[in-house]
């Protein structure tokens, strides 16, 4: 019989059926008394290999595989631990100590690595799912005033009108003087003007664009000029410090009041429907003669009388008239040759009637409940 120590003998018995233990036991037999040293050495090697593998890993899944490989039920370190019982009793504490040290080092290293990888792993895994369909960015919507401006512009395009623009910060000359409002004219009082300097104002209407356009071109002129205007009026449901108008100007040989009435009526019916009536009544503006105010029959109640038309059956749109010859004098048009009509219309009012909006202030509030409709 081989002379083997008790520990070695037990160890030999135990390895049957476990191939790795077989190797260990085999080496135990070969190396004899060095068996204890071997187990310690083995625990050290396992620790070293495990730590190296852990540090080279950048993936949480692989970390788990490493844990199982070394410390799982049949892990390499577990096997060494299991065989401690087979070593000589006096050697067991030393081996056990080494195995525990390895176990602790591997556990800590796994934990540290897992934490180091966690933010990466989490954000990559949890927040991006590449299989989901894309999210549409909210597109927003056109403001009701933009919608009405586009619609008005389109109708006048059909009628042969071009679109022109002018500054909101305007010279007194264009806002008043050349429109035949001399500086001491009482009609200026109707225009609640914001003055910026001696000769500069925030335009109170879009009519100055008439002058700027006629200065630049000879008749025939057929343009509209939509844009923003300003007045310091007392605020109420239909008055705000800023609002929008659309100017219209048609100058040519032989333009008459009949053109104005016909064109306005066509426009009203294109915008609000074919049953709309247009009413003209006498008014005064320094730059038109004769001047009119024009109203559309109420689109909300078909002229029966309601809150919107204040029970009159009519909606006041704005002023109009035949271009005053004095205005032609400012732009060097010959009033003996040319005539023209001009009109203004409140775009905010048109939008309020068209979309059933109660207050002009809602256009300025940017409330998404209105804008999103």
> What residues make contact with ligand PHE under the rule CB under 6 A?
205, 207, 285, 288, 318-321, 342-344
Q: Which is nearer to ligand PHE, 103 or 205 (CB)?
A: 205
d(CA 85, CA 99): 12
Q: How far is the CB of 171 from ligand PHE (least distance, A)?
A: 16
Q: Which is nearer to ligand PHE, 191 or 277 (CB)?
A: 191
In angstroms, how far is CA 26 from the centroid of its own chain? Answer: 74
Q: How far is the CB of 293 from ligand PHE (least distance, A)?
A: 9
Sign of CA dihedral 205, 211, 216, 220: positive
Q: How far is the CB of 141 from ligand PHE (least distance, A)?
A: 29
Q: Which is nearer to ligand PHE, 35 or 319 (CB)?
A: 319
DSSP class of 282: E
d(CA 291, CA 319): 7
DSSP class of 270: H
Q: How far is the CB of 213 from ligand PHE (least distance, A)?
A: 13
DSSP class of 328: H
DSSP strands (E only) in 104-175: 162-163, 169-171
| C-beta separation of 83 from 75 below 8 A | no
Q: Which is nearer to ligand PHE, 180 or 318 (CB)?
A: 318
Closest by alpha carbon to 317, among 281, 344, 283?
344
Q: Which is nearer to ligand PHE, 91 or 233 (CB)?
A: 233
Q: How far is the CB of 146 from ligand PHE (least distance, A)?
A: 21
d(CA 332, CA 325): 10
d(CA 344, CA 190): 15
Q: Which is nearer to ligand PHE, 7 or 321 (CB)?
A: 321
Q: Which is nearer to ligand PHE, 7 or 319 (CB)?
A: 319
d(CA 308, CA 296): 12
Report residue 266 as tokens: 């066509």
Q: How far is the CB of 139 from ligand PHE (least distance, A)?
A: 35
Q: How far is the CB of 358 from ligand PHE (least distance, A)?
A: 22
Report residue 362 as tokens: 């809602």
């Amino acid at each position: 019989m081989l002379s083997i120590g008790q520990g070695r003998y037990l160890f030999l018995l135990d390895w049957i059926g476990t191939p790795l233990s077989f190797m260990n036991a085999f080496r135990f037999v070969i190396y004899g008394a060095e068996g204890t040293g071997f187990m310690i050495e083995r625990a050290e090697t396992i620790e070293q290999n495990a730590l190296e593998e852990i540090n080279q890993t950048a993936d949480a899944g692989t970390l788990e595989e490493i844990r199982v490989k070394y410390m799982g039920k049949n892990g390499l370190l577990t096997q060494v631990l299991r065989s401690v019982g087979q070593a000589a009793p006096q050697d067991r504490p030393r081996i056990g100590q080494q195995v525990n040290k390895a176990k602790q080092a591997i556990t800590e290293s796994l934990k540290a690595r897992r934490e180091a990888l966690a933010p990466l792993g989490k954000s990559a895994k949890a927040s991006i799912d590449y299989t989901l369909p894309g999210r549409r960015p909210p597109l927003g919507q056109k403001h009701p005033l933009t919608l009405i401006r586009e619609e008005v512009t389109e109708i006048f395009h059909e009628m042969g009108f071009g679109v022109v623009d002018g500054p909101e910060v305007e010279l007194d000359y264009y806002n008043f003087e050349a429109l035949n409002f001399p500086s001491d004219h009482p009609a200026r009082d109707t225009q609640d003007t914001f003055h910026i300097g001696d000769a500069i104002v925030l335009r109170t209407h879009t009519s100055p664009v008439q002058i700027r356009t006629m200065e630049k071109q000879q008749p025939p002129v057929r343009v509209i000029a939509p844009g923003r205007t300003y007045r310091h009026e007392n605020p109420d449901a239909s008055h705000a410090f800023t609002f929008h108008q659309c100017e219209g100007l048609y100058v040519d040989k032989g333009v008459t009041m009949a053109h104005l009435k016909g064109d306005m009526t066509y426009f009203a019916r294109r915008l609000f429907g074919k049953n709309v009536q247009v009413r003209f009544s006498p008014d005064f503006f320094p730059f038109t003669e004769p001047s009119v105010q024009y109203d559309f029959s109420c689109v909300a109640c078909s002229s029966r009388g309601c809150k919107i038309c204040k029970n009159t059956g009519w909606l006041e749109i704005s002023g109009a008239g035949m271009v005053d010859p004095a205005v032609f004098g400012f732009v060097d048009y010959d009033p003996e040759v040319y005539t023209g009509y001009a009109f203004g219309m409140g775009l905010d009012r048109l939008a309020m009637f068209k979309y059933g909006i109660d207050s002009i202030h809602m256009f300025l509030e940017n409330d998404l409940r209105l804008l999103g409709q």
